[in-house]
A and B are shown apart, each in its own frame.
Chain A
Amino acid sequence: MAGVNSKHAFWQALVVTIAIFIIGLFLGVALENKRADKANERFIESEIALMDSFTLGKISKISEDNDFDCEVLVNSNIQFANKIYDEARVFENYGESEKLTQNVKQVLKRYDLLRTLLWVNTMEIPRDCMNETSVIVYVFDRDDRSLEAESEKNVWERILLELRKSEDKKIILIPIGLNEELISLNTILSGFDSLETPAVIIDNKHVISEPVSVNELKSLLK
């Protein structure tokens, strides 16, 4: 009792499957674009916040009466760093799940530049204002997907999270992904000999490439 359409079912199934796949891919692209749009919006907000922090830095330099409030300047950088650190964690996950487009990854690269600017900005903060605040830059290679590199990155992220929990008000934590196209970042990093990522740079002095304990890191802070 062969069905009436038995011979056509094979071709029909192929057409249906291809159609479902194409629809699925379109939906996938739409989803990734939506995530990229969200990341872009946050990026624009962060840009504004960074510009604000820059301006504050400039104000502190031209302030004549030396009673400029360091706490305001330092806190604005700490808050900004925390903001983009939390955003970065979300958008790094978006980047990992991005399969069809490269839009979120492009935003992440722009974030790397933003964080490089933040790093430079912290270097311009008057020394007197930074007596009790340390700048910790965590440099990692986003494109290194080897097991060892991924494991090290996981461990560093957890160490830095623990450090941030306990030293929240005293550190400016800046994670930056390596990027060949960012000449500014590469210029700064070239100043550190034999830098092997993932690595942590504390106050532009101490470079740590192997994961260490939270207490060891604390001992290197101001």
Chain B
Amino acid sequence: MNLSFIEFVFFFYTFIGLYMLSLMILVYLPNRKKMFSYPKGKPEPVSIILPCYNAASNIGNTIERLLNLDWPKNMLEIIVVDDCSTDGSQDVIKKYVKKHKNIRCILREKNFGRAAGPTNQGIKIAKYDYIVVCDDDSHPEKDSLKKMIGFLQKDEKIAGVTSSVLVRKPEKFIEKLQAIEYVVIAFARKLLDFVDAVYVTPGPFALYKKNALLEVGLFDEENMTQDIEIVWKLMSYGYKARMCLDARTYVDSPKKKKSWWKQRIRWNIGGMQTLWKYRGWTFRKSMLGMFIIPFFSFSAFMGIFGLGIFSYLTLQRFTSTYLTTNYLIGTEVPLLAFQGFSLNPSIVNFFGFSLLILGILYILFGIATMKELKAEYIDFYSMTIFLTIYLTIFPINLLHSFIKMARGNYSW
């Protein structure tokens, strides 16, 4: 064999990529008819915790949507926890509290800065045994709760259920990219559900058992992604989380590159905080220890290492071009010349190309299965950019997140 170190690393990456693809396909095939199914549940009293910060333009509509959930009104309470908003959110909230007996609100005296603190505060005063945690700009479909409750009722080990979080009416280019991404994530998360590896119950709309939350000590108030940490904590106590693919919650994704970048930094830092907190669980006999933690750690490492390799190869290419140009000057040979097209792919190229094609097919299949992306929202250009450039930006964001975390320079 005549492989350089970098080619060997490339083969290794290809192996891992192929393994994950194979895993997803092998999980999908026997479960394809169960992707959108959910256990039938019966209505039980639910407390919805709605942390709010400077959401005056949204909070009223969100409360309306929650009130309009297909759920008996006498089995629903909404607890809005305002984290010292300064935009008049409190006035909006108070109107609803006045109008509806099943809406309560906590007006915090000091800004906490993260969602976990206000959420915990709401959970502590919640009356009922089932808790929904929701964002102040979430758009859950009316039947979401109906579809999700059965998961918690059928199995005492299930402590949390998440819904499909999707982008609402993507218009800008960056929103369209995120719309595709969220659909693929939802599809993948459902596949992970079949192997008991749902590792997050995203903030926009998630349902929990209150006693389980209290048992594990509620959400980690220091964590930037408390929705990941809570699932890992529940899993460390022997609980599981589930994914209801058919329950859809729509959210407004970041509309500008800067806010998108900041959001992803927060997600990465939260992920790294959680990884560090649960590092002692690595390789312990459980899905958390044997799959989720190694998968997260390895992905992070591979991302940054891959970025390093890519940077090295790019620098090498630039240096080579510079040297060649330097030598060419004065030789009277054109700097740019077409010397004929020579296609001699190596086994490395074949593996890489095959993995690329399989990856694209997997993504397209996930999108087709979800049937979410309407033609008027998504076009060929955004799909192409997503499949080629968008995903390659993540390692750079990860590196930036790592640097920020190392410096202690991060906030919600």
Q: Are B346 and A154 in contact (CB under 8 A)?
A: no
Q: Are B19 and A17 in contact (CB under 8 A)?
A: yes
CB of A106 within 8 Å of the partner chain: no
Q: How far is the CB of B184 from chain A (nearest CB, A)?
A: 19
CB-contact partner of B194 in A2, A105, A151, A211, under 8 A? A2
Q: How far is the CB of A167 from chain B (nearest CB, A)?
A: 14
CB of B74 within 8 Å of the partner chain: no
Give CA–CA (A10, B346) in the complex, Å: 30
CB of A61 within 8 Å of the partner chain: no
- A residues 16-41 near B (Cβ < 8 Å) are 16-17, 20-21, 24-25, 27-28, 31-32
Q: Are A151 and B327 in contact (CB under 8 A)?
A: yes
In the complex, residue of chain B having the shortest beta-carbon distance to the beta carbon of A1: B34
Q: Is the interface of A mostly helix, strand, loop or mixed?
A: helix
Give CA–CA (A9, B33) in the complex, Å: 17
CB of A193 within 8 Å of the partner chain: no
What residues of chain B lie closer than 8 Å to A16, measured between beta carbons?
22, 26
Q: How far is the CB of B339 from chain A (nearest CB, A)?
A: 7
Give CA–CA (A21, B17) in the complex, Å: 12
Q: Are A17 and B22 in contact (CB under 8 A)?
A: yes
Give CA–CA (A162, B337) in the complex, Å: 10
What residues of chain B lie closer than 8 Å to A102, measured between beta carbons?
2
What residues of chain A lie closer than 8 Å to B342, measured between beta carbons?
89-90, 93
CB of A14 within 8 Å of the partner chain: yes
CB-contact partner of A215 in B2, B328, B332, B339, under 8 A? B332
- A residues 59-116 near B (Cβ < 8 Å) are 89-90, 93-94, 96-100, 102, 105
CB of B227 within 8 Å of the partner chain: no
Q: Are B327 and A211 in contact (CB under 8 A)?
A: yes
What residues of chain A lie closer than 8 Å to B19, measured between beta carbons?
13-14, 17
Give CA–CA (A148, B39) in the complex, Å: 66
Q: How far is the CB of B28 from chain A (nearest CB, A)?
A: 9
CB of B406 within 8 Å of the partner chain: no
CB-contact partner of B193 in A1, A4, A7, under 8 A? A1
In the complex, residue of chain B having the shortest beta-carbon distance to the beta carbon of A31: B347
What residues of chain A lie closer than 8 Å to B330, measured between beta carbons?
213
Give CA–CA (A4, B2) in the complex, Å: 43
B218-254 interface bits toward A, Cβ cutoff 8 Å, 1 = contact, 0 = none = 0000000000000000000000001000000000000
Q: Are B337 and A1 in contact (CB under 8 A)?
A: no
Interface size class of B (residues with CB under 8 A): 35 or more
CB of B18 within 8 Å of the partner chain: yes
Q: Are A9 and B15 in contact (CB under 8 A)?
A: no
CB of A158 within 8 Å of the partner chain: yes
Q: How far is the CB of B123 from chain A (nearest CB, A)?
A: 26
In the complex, residue of chain B having the shortest beta-carbon distance to the beta carbon of A21: B15
CB of A191 within 8 Å of the partner chain: no
Q: Are A13 and B327 in contact (CB under 8 A)?
A: no
What residues of chain B lie closer than 8 Å to A182, measured between beta carbons?
none
How many residues from A make CB contacts under 8 Å with B?
49
What residues of chain B lie closer than 8 Å to A195, measured between beta carbons?
none
B161-172 interface bits toward A, Cβ cutoff 8 Å, 1 = contact, 0 = none = 000000000000
Q: Are B324 and A99 in contact (CB under 8 A)?
A: no
Q: Are B324 and A9 in contact (CB under 8 A)?
A: no
Give CA–CA (A149, B301) in the complex, Å: 33
Residue with the greatest number of chain B CB neighbours at <10 A, chosen from A155, A161, A212: A155
CB-contact partner of A147 in B195, B320, B332, under 8 A? B320
In the complex, residue of chain A having the shortest beta-carbon distance to the beta carbon of B330: A213
Residue with the greatest number of chain B CB neighbours at <10 A, chosen from A161, A211, A212: A211
Give CA–CA (A213, B329) in the complex, Å: 9
CB of B86 within 8 Å of the partner chain: no
Give CA–CA (A49, B128) in the complex, Å: 93
What residues of chain A lie closer than 8 Å to B34, measured between beta carbons?
1, 3
A149-167 interface bits toward B, Cβ cutoff 8 Å, 1 = contact, 0 = none = 0111011001101100000
CB-contact partner of B3 in A99, A152, A162, under 8 A? A99
Q: How far is the CB of A53 from chain B (nearest CB, A)?
A: 27
Q: Are B195 and A2 in contact (CB under 8 A)?
A: yes
CB-contact partner of B349 in A9, A94, A97, under 8 A? A97
In the complex, residue of chain A having the shortest beta-carbon distance to the beta carbon of B16: A17
What residues of chain B lie closer than 8 Å to A55, measured between beta carbons?
none
- B residues 314-365 near A (Cβ < 8 Å) are 316, 319-320, 323-324, 326-328, 330-333, 337, 339, 342, 344-351, 354
CB of B391 within 8 Å of the partner chain: no
What residues of chain B lie closer than 8 Å to A213, measured between beta carbons?
330-333
Give CA–CA (A155, B321) in the complex, Å: 11
Give CA–CA (A6, B287) in the complex, Å: 11
CB of A5 within 8 Å of the partner chain: yes
Give CA–CA (A14, B23) in the complex, Å: 8
In the complex, residue of chain A having the shortest beta-carbon distance to the beta carbon of B290: A10
- Enumerate chain B interface residues (CB-CB to A < 8 A): 1-3, 7, 15, 18-20, 22-23, 26-27, 30-31, 34, 37-39, 151, 193-196, 242, 291, 316, 319-320, 323-324, 326-328, 330-333, 337, 339, 342, 344-351, 354
Report 20 cross-chain contacts, Cβ distance below 8 Å, ordered by A residue.
A1-B193, A1-B242, A2-B193, A5-B27, A6-B27, A6-B195, A7-B195, A13-B19, A25-B347, A28-B347, A28-B350, A97-B346, A98-B2, A99-B346, A151-B324, A152-B327, A155-B328, A155-B331, A162-B333, A211-B327
Ranked nearest first, the 7 interchain pairs of A and B with the lowest CB-CB distance are A28-B347, A97-B346, A151-B323, A3-B194, A13-B23, A13-B22, A155-B327
- Enumerate chain A interface residues (CB-CB to B < 8 A): 1-7, 9-10, 12-14, 16-17, 20-21, 24-25, 27-28, 31-32, 89-90, 93-94, 96-100, 102, 105, 147-148, 150-152, 154-155, 158-159, 161-162, 211-215
